[in-house]
Amino acid sequence: MSMSRFFADKKNIYEDRIEITDREDIKHLSRVLRHRIGDVIEISDNESMEYEIELTGISAEKVIGRIIKAQPFEREPRVRVTLYQGIPKQSKMELIIQKSVELGVDAVLPVFTSRTVVQDRGHFDRKSARWQKIASEAVKQCRRGIAPKIGPVVTLDEVRMIMAENDLTLLCYEDEKQTTIKEVLRKEAGNHPRKIGMIIGPEGGFSESEVRKLTEAGAVSVSLGKTVLRVETASVAALAMIMYEMELSGE
């Protein structure tokens, strides 16, 4: 049975002990998981290190544990993938975030496109806290070291500007007939890209003008296969393909 994983601020990590002060984590650890003195759990500093600690104190204010093992992250991908996700309907965004975190995404930016159904930016800003909570819960479940950031809602024009920071940006486009994601990833593997962007549209995909603007800005239009995938399937499939080619293929 795998150990429970929690996060601790670096200021609460000392030479011989770690303290958990987040009230929700304390409640979950003591009341839901029913951990007791002497139990061993995992802790991440959300930056570079992970620890095993033996619980030595549990109260309503803090949980204290003695460090018995410390090491650099073992489960974080070398490649950092940012998902620029066209905002879909209803609860699909929650599923996309959850599964993307499990697969190793580094960050998710919700994106307004011309075919996004709801265009009220404030409406989505109110959802940011919930989306971040979903990401944090998913990262604990899959025992990653870093909780991916769920960024603020952006426009495609903003994506065009910030994607310049990537070594490679892929535009997953259902009408792409010539270039597959497999071809591009295998061609680029020798360049060892460390920052990859992945642009996925909402239901209805992208307009031709949006595709033209993104490719002019440097995005590479790719196909995910012969069938047209649902938005939540496309995000997960594309990320899995990237992780296979960049993390697992050839190992």
Q: What is the CATH number of the domain that holds 110?
A: 3.40.1280.10
Same domain, 17 and 126: no
Domain that holds residue 56: 5-72
Q: How many domains does the structure of the chain reveal?
A: 2
Low-confidence ranges of the chain (pLDDT < 70): 1, 118-125, 249-251
**In this predicted structure, what is the pLDDT of residue 91?**
82
Rounded Cα–Cα distance for residues 4 and 149 (Å): 21
Give 13's DSSP letter: B
Rounded Cα–Cα distance for residues 41 and 6 (Å): 8
**In this predicted structure, what is the pLDDT of residue 52?**
96
The CATH number assigned to the domain holding 13 equals 2.40.240.20
Same domain, 114 and 135: yes
Token duo for residue 170:
């892929």
Ranges of H-type helices in 58-207: 92-103, 121-125, 128-141, 156-162, 181-188
**In this predicted structure, what is the pLDDT of residue 249?**
61
Rounded Cα–Cα distance for residues 182 and 223 (Å): 9
Token duo for residue 241:
């393909």
Same domain, 197 and 215: yes
Spatial contact of 213 and 199, defined as CB atoms under 8 Å apart: no
Same domain, 189 and 234: yes
pTM, entire model: 0.85
**In this predicted structure, what is the pLDDT of residue 248?**
74
Same domain, 43 and 95: no
Same domain, 133 and 243: yes
